[in-house]
């Protein structure tokens, strides 16, 4: 089994030692490590004495500090062999590294703070800024966008321009506008709007004693009216006043 440690970063590994010829853990008084007892090999290279010696932590557990240079590889093998009269059984430790192109595992799953190495910009409910290159189909649906999620204040000027809309998409938007039935918008449409201009062209319009009246699609609800000024020398009309509700 391999211990996982950050590449080229000093670390401490922990392990038990067994007393020679026994089944019991070796305690601090059972073994005094010497320079040749602990050796390190990096990526299958030659073994060399470790820079540090094992230390007894208690209850038969020992530790060994590996310097950064000793963890500068993909896999580090540590051999612990009592070079003198054996006081302990042989032991070995394997260390796999992460976090570098030259490590055993280049990257590990991480949260945004670990990824950026700094705290991210917090938004509503702890969300963060992100830039998405592509999205799967049906990611944005009515159910996934809360009411008022998209408002004028949240969309920058020119955020959606001709370069952001494909021609086919722009045409679909235009087609939807042209096919929109006036009865869906007439109740709230301002007098000076395209919707009312279309009503004047396709809905009921009448001259009511010199007042031109435009009705909604039901033919009875008055939408707009304007005073007509007649001039006998310039028939039938020479002026149409600004429309009022």
Tell me if 120 is assigned to some domain: no
Tell me if 58 is assigned to some domain: yes
Distance CA 34, CA 222 (A): 103
**Count of domains forming the chain:** 2
Tell me if 177 is assigned to some domain: no
Tell me if 213 is assigned to some domain: yes
Tell me if 30 is assigned to some domain: yes
Quick check: 16 and 88 in contact, CB under 8 A?
no
Partners of 48 in the beta sheet? Answer: 40
Distance CA 68, CA 40 (A): 12
Radius of gyration of the chain (CA): 41
Tell me if 7 is assigned to some domain: yes
Which of 56, 82, 98 corresponds to the end of one domain? 98
H and E: helices and strands count for the chain? 3, 12
Structural domain containing residue 223:
182-240
Q: 227, 232, 231, 229: which is closest to 242 by C-alpha? A: 227
Distance CA 32, CA 85 (A): 11
Tell me if 235 is assigned to some domain: yes
From first to last of its 245 residues, what are the pLDDT tens digits of the chain?
689 999 999 999 999 999 999 999 999 999 999 999 999 999 999 999 999 999 999 999 999 999 999 999 999 999 999 988 899 999 999 999 998 989 998 876 667 676 677 776 666 666 666 778 888 888 888 888 888 888 888 888 888 777 778 888 888 988 988 888 889 999 999 999 999 999 888 889 998 888 999 999 999 999 999 998 877 776 665 556 666 66
Which of 78, 98, 118 corresponds to the end of one domain? 98
How large a percentage of the chain has pLDDT more than 70? Answer: 88
Tell me if 214 is assigned to some domain: yes
- The CATH code of the domain that includes 28 is 2.60.40
pTM: 0.49
Which of 75, 98, 121 corresponds to the end of one domain? 98
């Amino acid at each position: 089994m391999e211990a996982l440690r950050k590449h080229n970063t000093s670390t401490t590994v922990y392990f038990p030692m067994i007393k020679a010829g026994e089944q019991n853990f070796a305690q601090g008084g059972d073994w005094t490590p010497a320079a040749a007892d602990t050796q390190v090999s990096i990526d299958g290279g030659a073994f060399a004495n470790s820079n540090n010696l094992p230390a007894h932590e208690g209850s038969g557990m020992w530790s060994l500090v590996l310097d950064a240079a000793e963890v500068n590889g993909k896999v580090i093998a540590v051999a612990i062999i009592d070079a003198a009269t054996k006081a302990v059984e042989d032991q070995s430790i394997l260390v796999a590294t992460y976090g570098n192109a030259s490590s055993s595992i280049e990257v590990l799953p991480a949260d945004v703070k670990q990824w950026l190495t700094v705290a991210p910009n917090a938004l509503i409910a702890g969300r963060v800024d992100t830039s998405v290159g592509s999205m799967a189909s049906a990611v944005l649906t009515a159910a996934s966008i809360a009411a008022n999620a998209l408002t004028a204040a949240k969309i920058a000027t020119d955020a959606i321009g001709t370069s952001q809309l494909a021609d086919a998409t722009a045409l679909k938007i235009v087609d939807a506008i042209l096919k929109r039935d006036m009865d869906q918008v007439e109740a709230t449409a301002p007098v000076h709007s395209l919707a009312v201009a279309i009503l004047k062209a396709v809905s009921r319009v009448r001259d009511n004693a010199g007042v031109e009246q435009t009705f909604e699609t039901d033919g009875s609800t008055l939408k707009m009216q304007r005073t007509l000024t007649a001039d006998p020398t310039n028939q039938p009309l020479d002026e149409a006043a600004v429309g009022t509700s």
